């Protein structure tokens, strides 16, 4: 394992603290009038998602985490584990539902995702920013209801529930922002 010195600190760096991987979400550099410079790191735990602030003096070293990001394809799930495959090596990874952290509602077969691996084990799954999903259920819009920004609930093919404009019908394909869960636009059939 390598190490990073304080002069190498930057956003996006992955470090190991107390045996767990962290992502440097932000950092601050302060040089007081007297004494050594101080680097304050805002760290996100990649296993639990918690945030930690830690300070280092100039010249300190931090161990690098053996964390890699890889693009995988979603294959199927058995309600307990979601299975992803590397398109190049055909290696498959089983990911427990709790690691998906609610992102399973955006996944349909053959969706490409970015998976963060720590020591070869998946620790986070990030779906694409936008997905196209079909509406499987929604109430019909009331005729004559032309008020702007009128929304209604809709269920998508993956089971996700979002709010959509009143003109959306069952069978429509929608582009959805997976970061916010918001309707973006109706797509061609």
117: number of CA atoms within 13 Å, CB side? 14
User: What CATH number labels 3-64?
Assistant: 2.30.30.30
**DSSP 8-state secondary structure symbol assigned to residue 47:** T
Burial pattern 85-113, b for ≥16 Cβ within 10 A else e, equals eeeeeeeebebeeebbeeebbbbeeebeb
The residues of the chain that CATH labels 2.40.50.140 are 67-126, 130-187
**Could you tell me which residues are beta bridge partners of residue 27?**
41
The correct answer on CATH 2.40.50.140 for the domain covering 130-187 is yes
pLDDT computed for residue 49 by the predictor: 80
For residue 75, give every residue at least 6 positions away whose Cβ sits within 8 Å of its Cβ, in sequence order, or none. Answer: 83, 84, 85, 92, 109
Q: Could you tell me the pTM of the whole model?
A: 0.74
**DSSP 8-state secondary structure symbol assigned to residue 58:** T
- Give the residue from 143, 89, 124, 132 showing the smallest Cα distance to 107: 132
User: What CATH number labels 67-126?
Assistant: 2.40.50.140
Report the sign of the C-alpha dihedral through residues 139, 144, 146, 150, in that order. negative
pLDDT tens sequence for the chain (189 residues): 688 888 888 888 889 998 889 988 898 988 888 888 899 999 988 888 889 999 999 889 999 888 888 999 999 998 889 999 999 999 999 998 888 888 999 999 999 999 989 888 888 899 999 999 999 999 887 666 666 678 899 999 999 999 999 888 999 999 999 999 999 999 875
pLDDT computed for residue 142 by the predictor: 66
Q: Does residue 78 contact residue 71 with C-beta atoms inside 8 Å?
A: no
The residues of the chain that CATH labels 2.30.30.30 are 3-64
Say whether 8 sits in a helix, a strand or coil. Answer: helix
Alpha carbon of 163 to those of 57, 135, 177: distances in Å? Answer: 49, 11, 12
């Amino acid at each position: 394992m390598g190490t990073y010195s304080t002069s190498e600190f930057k956003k996006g760096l992955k470090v190991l603290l107390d045996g767990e991987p962290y992502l440097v979400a932000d950092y601050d550099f302060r040089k007081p009038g007297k004494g050594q410079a101080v680097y304050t790191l805002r760290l996100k735990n990649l296993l639990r998602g918690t945030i930690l602030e830690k300070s280092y003096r100039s010249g300190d070293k931090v161990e690098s985490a053996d964390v890699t990001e890889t693009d995988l394809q979603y294959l199927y799930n058995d309600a307990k584990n979601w299975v992803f495959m590397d398109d190049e090596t055909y290696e498959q990874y089983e990911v427990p539902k709790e690691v998906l952290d609610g992102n399973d509602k955006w996944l349909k077969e053959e969706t490409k995702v970015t998976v963060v691996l720590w020591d070869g084990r998946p620790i986070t799954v990030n779906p694409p920013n936008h997905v196209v999903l079909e509406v499987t259920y929604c109430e019909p819009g009331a005729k004559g209801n032309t008020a702007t920004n009128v929304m209604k609930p809709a269920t998508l093919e993956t089971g996700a529930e979002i709010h959509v404009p009143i003109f959306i019908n069952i069978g429509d394909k929608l582009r959805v922002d997976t970061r916010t869960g918001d309707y973006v636009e109706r797509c061609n059939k």
